[in-house]
């Protein structure tokens, strides 16, 4: 797992490469550049070996947590990660999410997984709950796992304070999240976060880091994976390319899709596709934080 110092700059800050150098002449653009173009493209066809989402599990393996410790998967969605944490590490995992459908799907996934690995029945449970009021006792959790959920927490400071409250003094919070970068302009930002039902402040790295401090957390590690998960997915399945094509179709013929699926679903689909595209082009940048109680 590659690491960066906790004093990393703003997400997507690629100062050296973002300085504009205008071609000095027409010759430079149309004579010199074509001479390197093919070789340049061949270099770009080589993978930069992006890390994928498994980096979170690799990170968990370094935390020295024993089998049987208690984990909270906050905003667990359909339960895939809660089940994997129990299967791979023998943790006791509580998956919380406010959406009833997610909890139903998670329970169905648990039933299916438990057919092959019966011990999961005693290790994993799912429950409807929100981050703002976590229904667990003080100092009862060893790891809070929060992946791609921070977008939606209406009251970020209260949610993080709840995480701090339920963590044991020796506990760890592992938080993965995509942040807006300076490449995401205001109009794009408004449309994206509105479509995806996100609290816009929660994608601002300075705001989120100040909320960590206010809630009683210190940053132990920051890993900036930027757009790597997008590259990783593209190299394996081409999925981000598919989302780009879908974006083009959504934008070119909105009525076709609105008439069939409704405007709300159209907006969510557009937001979701743009999220994948923006992640590929540096308008969103991923980070993982390892947080520890500060005192």
119-138 residues near ligand SAM, rule: CB under 6 A? 130-132
**How far is C-alpha 43 from the geometric centre of its chain's CA atoms?**
29
Q: Is 152 in the site for ligand SAM (CB under 6 A)?
A: yes
Q: Which of 13, 104, 148, 272 binds ligand SAM (CB under 6 A)?
A: 148
The whole-angstrom separation of Cα 228 and Cα 226 is 6
* Per-residue b or e along 145-180, where b marks 16 or more CB atoms closer than 10 Å to that residue's CB: bbbebbbbbeebbbbbbbbbbbbeeebbbbbbbbbb
Q: Which is nearer to ligand SAM, 65 or 106 (CB)?
A: 106
Q: How far is the CB of 119 from ligand SAM (least distance, A)?
A: 23
3-class secondary-structure state, position 144: strand
The whole-angstrom separation of Cα 238 and Cα 229 is 12
Q: Is 163 in the site for ligand SAM (CB under 6 A)?
A: no
The whole-angstrom separation of Cα 75 and Cα 44 is 37
Q: Is 77 in the site for ligand SAM (CB under 6 A)?
A: yes
Q: Which of 93, 106, 110, 149 binds ligand SAM (CB under 6 A)?
A: 149
Beta bridge partners of 128: 97
Q: Which is nearer to ligand SAM, 148 or 209 (CB)?
A: 148
Q: Is 153 in the site for ligand SAM (CB under 6 A)?
A: yes
First and final C-alpha spacing in the chain: 27
Residues near ligand SAM (CB under 6 A), total: 17
Q: Is 105 in the site for ligand SAM (CB under 6 A)?
A: no
Q: Is 147 in the site for ligand SAM (CB under 6 A)?
A: yes
Binding positions for ligand SAM, rule: CB under 6 A: 74-77, 81, 97-99, 102, 130-132, 147-149, 152-153
């Amino acid at each position: 797992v590659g690491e960066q110092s906790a004093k990393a700059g703003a997400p997507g800050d690629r100062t050296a490469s973002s300085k504009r150098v205008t071609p000095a002449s027409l010759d430079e653009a149309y004579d010199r550049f074509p001479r390197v173009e093919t070789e340049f493209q061949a270099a770009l066809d080589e993978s930069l070996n992006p890390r994928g989402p498994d980096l979170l599990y690799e990170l968990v393996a370094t935390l020295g947590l024993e089998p049987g410790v208690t984990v909270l998967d906050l905003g667990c969605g359909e339960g895939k990660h809660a089940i994997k944490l129990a299967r791979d590490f023998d943790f006791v995992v509580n998956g919380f999410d406010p959406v009833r459908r997610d909890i139903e799907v998670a329970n169905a996934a648990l039933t299916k997984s438990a057919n092959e690995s019966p011990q999961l029945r005693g290790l994993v449970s799912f429950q409807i709950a929100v981050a703002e009021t976590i229904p667990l006792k003080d100092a009862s959790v060893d790891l809070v796992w929060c992946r791609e959920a921070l977008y939606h927490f209406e009251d970020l400071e209260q949610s993080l304070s709840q995480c701090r409250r339920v963590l044991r003094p020796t506990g760890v919070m592992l938080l993965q999240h995509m942040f807006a970068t300076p490449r995401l302009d205001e109009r794009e930002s408004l449309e994206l976060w509105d479509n995806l039902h996100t609290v816009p402040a929660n994608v601002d790295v300075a705001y989120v880091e100040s909320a960590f401090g206010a809630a009683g957390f210190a940053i132990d590690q920051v890993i900036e994976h930027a757009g790597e998960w997008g590259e990783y997915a593209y190299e394996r399945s081409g999925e981000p390319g598919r989302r780009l094509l879908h974006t083009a179709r959504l934008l070119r013929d909105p009525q076709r899709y609105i008439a069939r699926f409704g405007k709300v679903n159209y907006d969510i689909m557009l937001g979701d596709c743009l999220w994948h595209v923006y992640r590929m082009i540096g308008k969103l940048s991923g980070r993982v934080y390892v947080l520890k109680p500060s005192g």
